[in-house]
Amino acid sequence: MSGRLVVCALAVLIAAADFSVAQSYPTKPIRLISPFVPGGGASLVARIIGQELTEAWGEPIVVDNRGGAGGSIGTELTARAAPDGYTLVMATASTIVIRPLMDKVSYDPVRDFTPIAFTTTVPLVLVVHPSVAARSVKELIALARQREARLNFASSGEGTISHLAGELFKDSAGINMAHVPYKGGGQAIIDLMAGHVQTGFINILEALPQVKADRLLALAVTGARRSSAMPEVPTVAEAGIPGYEVIQWSGVLGPAGMLKPIVAKINGEIESILGRSKVRDRLAGDGAQPGGGSPERFGAFIKTEIDKWSKVIKQARIVIK
């Protein structure tokens, strides 16, 4: 038998073995790490997906909350785990894109992970205090261009997605607004409602009750399309800044080197879960929209996000203090 035939035969045997492993997967509990404390958006999505996977496969999906260091602790645990499909992480823009761009972490967001499934997107909402003389994005931009206006915007902290959303807005609109960071979205909302800060990019889940109560005015959502939670509110792109898009997102990653048939099996099951009406309704109730797509598409999206936010961070000279 020629060398080429031997190589081909070995490749066929390896592929068959990999397929066999994937067919029997899973044979024991799977640990799905949520790299934040319980109660946050990533943890909620992890528990929804985990419950559905448990019912589908008959093996428990154990959601393991490992908060700390901006999500890098739990994310690192996954990067260092065996690539057998039994340790996964519910990654977010903060943990896999923004944190590695702004701080020293022990993992590479591309090299050390296998993209598996893009699970959800959640837009932010550009809100203003009712005292601000702007009822649209265009009016806010015009107001910011008046020297005496001295507008500021609140965020949930230095280097968070709400901070970067504001910096991208400033750069795209060609305006200046002072950044006022808080230790979390809750504190930012309180000062926004009190009028201590004028505007901000706030998680839709936190903003919705205050907008409905007329304590804050919603000018636009930051996603590519309108949110079902606020269908009357335009996107920032619709309202005057074409191409503007900022989303909080989540997705399942595994360690680098996972077998492709196992990745495909997990992706296929999560795709099925995201298509179920009960899951879509539950996500919509929290202002989230289902993701979806192939592992390759998810991996390409992560690389696009890294490129996008690295430019914003460099332009704004953002550092974690």
- Segment 98-117, tens digit of pLDDT: 989 988 899 999 999 999 99
Residue 242 within a domain: no
Residue with the larger pLDDT of the pair 167 and 41: 167
Question: Domain tally for the chain?
Answer: 2
Write down which residue in 221, 256, 291 finishes a domain: 221
Residue 232 within a domain: no
* Residues 99 and 42 occupy one common structural domain: yes
- Segment 10-64, tens digit of pLDDT: 444 444 455 566 789 999 999 999 998 787 788 889 999 999 999 999 999 999 9
For the chain, what is the mean pLDDT?
A: 90
Gyration radius of the chain's alpha carbons: 22
* Residues 261 and 284 occupy one common structural domain: yes
Write down which residue in 151, 186, 221 finishes a domain: 221
Q: Which of the residue ranges 63-72, 171-180, 311-320 has the most confident prediction, judged by mean pLDDT?
A: 171-180
Range 166-175 average pLDDT: 95
Residue with the larger pLDDT of the pair 240 and 14: 240
* Residues 49 and 75 occupy one common structural domain: yes
Spatial separation of the C-alpha atoms in residues 282 and 293, rounded to whole Å: 20
- Within 10 angstroms of residue 232's Cβ, the number of other Cβ atoms is 7
Residue 233 within a domain: no
In this predicted structure, what is the pLDDT of residue 20? 60
* Residues 265 and 177 occupy one common structural domain: no
Residue with the larger pLDDT of the pair 89 and 320: 89
- Segment 65-100, tens digit of pLDDT: 998 887 899 999 999 999 999 999 999 998 999 989
Are 112 and 302 in contact by the 8 Å Cβ rule? The answer is: no
Residue 256 within a domain: yes
Quickly state the pLDDT bin for 317 (edges 50, 70, 90). Answer: confident
Q: Is the pLDDT of residue 149 over 80?
A: no
Write down which residue in 205, 221, 237 finishes a domain: 221
* Residues 187 and 154 occupy one common structural domain: yes
In this predicted structure, what is the pLDDT of residue 142? 95
Residue 236 within a domain: no
Percent of the chain with pLDDT over 70: 93
* Residues 118 and 259 occupy one common structural domain: yes
Range 239-252 average pLDDT: 95
Q: Could you tell me the CA-to-CA distances from 290 to 52, 113, 123, 252, 271 in Å, in that order? A: 14, 22, 12, 13, 9
Q: What is the DSSP string of 132-190?
A: SS-SSHHHHHHHHTSTTT--EEEESSTTSHHHHHHHHHHHHHT---EEEE-SSHHHHHH
* Residues 47 and 131 occupy one common structural domain: no
Which range marks the domain in which residue 30 is found? 3-122+248-316
* Residues 116 and 10 occupy one common structural domain: yes
The torsion region of residue 211 among left (phi > 0), alpha (psi -120 to 50) and beta comes to alpha
Q: Residues 6 or more apart from 242 whose CB is under 8 A from it?
A: none
Q: Is the pLDDT of residue 321 over 50?
A: yes
In this predicted structure, what is the pLDDT of residue 5? 57
| Tokens at 206, concatenated | 């936190």
Residue 16 within a domain: yes
pTM to 2 decimals?
A: 0.84
In this predicted structure, what is the pLDDT of residue 293? 97
Q: What is the CATH number of the domain that holds 259?
A: 3.40.190.150
- Segment 138-148, tens digit of pLDDT: 999 999 999 77
* Residues 198 and 305 occupy one common structural domain: no
| DSSP three-state, residue 38 | coil
Spatial separation of the C-alpha atoms in residues 215 and 193, rounded to whole Å: 6
Query: Residue 85 corresponds to which amino acid?
Result: G
- Segment 204-223, tens digit of pLDDT: 888 988 999 999 999 999 99
- Segment 249-290, tens digit of pLDDT: 999 999 999 999 999 999 999 999 999 999 999 998 878 899
* Residues 135 and 111 occupy one common structural domain: no
In this predicted structure, what is the pLDDT of residue 114? 98
Q: Is the pLDDT of residue 127 over 80?
A: yes
